[in-house]
Amino acid sequence: MKYVIGNWKSNQNLTESLIWLDGLQSIKPHFSPDASVILCLPFTDIAGFNHKLSDLEMPIVTGAQNVSHLAPGKHTGEITANMLAELVSFCIVGHSERRREFAETSEMVAEKARQLLENSITPIVCLDLPYLDEQIKELFQKNVDVSRCYFVYEPISAIGTGHPQDPVEANHVANQISFLIDNQAPILYGGSVTAENVKSFVDQNRIDGVLVGADSLEPTLFAGIINSLS
């Protein structure tokens, strides 16, 4: 199975997200049974987007982009895994933007993954070389079942720059991650993926799919990536 995961980040309100869905529907991408398409949305879009997705019967699964590391309780404004469980099957944790802008630590990310798994949501754990070992160690320390997670190697130099990493080098790091988690989970690559370069990544022996930021925002570009995998 191959995976395409879109990450909209803090873009698109609910109205815009529904227009995006109409746009994708009119393009009619070819959804291959061998490729799973997951779209990670802003919290505020998820419920309405899910509703329209089921009306259109489009084979896309939704995810969130963040979750609280805390259990339900007195934490004003936090969105817990228990709340997300009614809405999504996946959730990104540990994106480098959250580490940089919100001082998220590997320990917090591991706690988020634990909260998600307790609520039957698959964590999509983002990794880069400077904290790769530390992050995986934290997951084991918090007894996170890594076989129930997805992992994404996202070199910061490639995120949003238009300069993807060399696919062979990315595969090398994917193998490193695979070794550390005992080869138990899907490993994806993220960073400036486009319809033109996606095949060069998923054709690598240890890269199971891609995480796509900028090119998931335009239905035509995202459809191009989906079609490249079919």
Cα→Cα distances 64→38, 42, 203, 204, Å: 10, 7, 27, 27
**Least distance between ligand PEP and beta carbon 207 (Å):** 14
State which residue, 63 or 213, has the beta carbon closest to ligand PEP.
213
Residue list 147-176, contact with ligand PEP (CB under 6 A): 154, 159-160
R_g over Cα of the chain: 17
In the block, tokens 């033109």 appear at: 196
Amino acid 143 reads: N
Sign (positive or negative) of CA dihedral 188, 32, 149, 49: positive
Verify binding: residue 63, ligand PEP, rule CB under 6 A.
Answer: no
Residue list 172-201, contact with ligand PEP (CB under 6 A): 190-193
**Least distance between ligand PEP and beta carbon 104 (Å):** 14
- Rounded to 10 degrees, what is the CA torsion of 204, 209, 213, 218? 110
| Known catalytic residue at 172 | no
**Least distance between ligand PEP and beta carbon 215 (Å):** 6
Verify binding: residue 211, ligand PEP, rule CB under 6 A.
Answer: yes
Verify binding: residue 124, ligand PEP, rule CB under 6 A.
Answer: no
Residues that are catalytic:
95, 154
